[in-house]
Amino acid sequence: MKQTNHFYRNALDYVETLDQYNIPRHELEESKSLLGQLIALSALQRKAHSNAQELTHKKQEALAQLDRWYRKLIRVAYIALEEEPQQMEALAG
C-alpha cells in the first residue's frame, strides 16, 4: 500500500502525461481518495484486532481469578461440610 500511496500522491504532478494513456485526473483523484479510505480502514482493523487481543487476555485473567476463587471455596466447603456429606454432595452436584 505504501508504493500505491506514493504513486497517487505524485501522480497528480503528471496528469498531462497520464492523460495521454487515458488516465484522466478525476480517476486519479478518486483512486487516491479510495486508497486513503483503505489506509484508514486498515488502521481501524489493526486497532480492533489489538483491542480484541487485549480483551481476550483480560477475559483469560478474569477466568483464572474466578477459577482460583472457586477452588478456595470448594476447599472451605469440604472443611465446613465435612460432617454433612449430603450437603457437600448437593454443593458438588
> Do the beta carbons of residue 32 and residue 39 sit within 8 Å?
no
- 81 three-state secondary structure: coil
Q: Where are the domains of the chain?
A: 2-92
The per-residue pLDDT for 12 is: 82
CA separation for the pair 83, 23 (Å, rounded): 88
Mean pLDDT of 27-36: 93
Q: Hey, CA dihedral for 27, 31, 32, 37, is it positive or negative?
A: positive
Share of the chain above pLDDT 90, in %: 52
- pTM, two decimal places: 0.62
> Do the beta carbons of residue 10 and residue 35 sit within 8 Å?
no
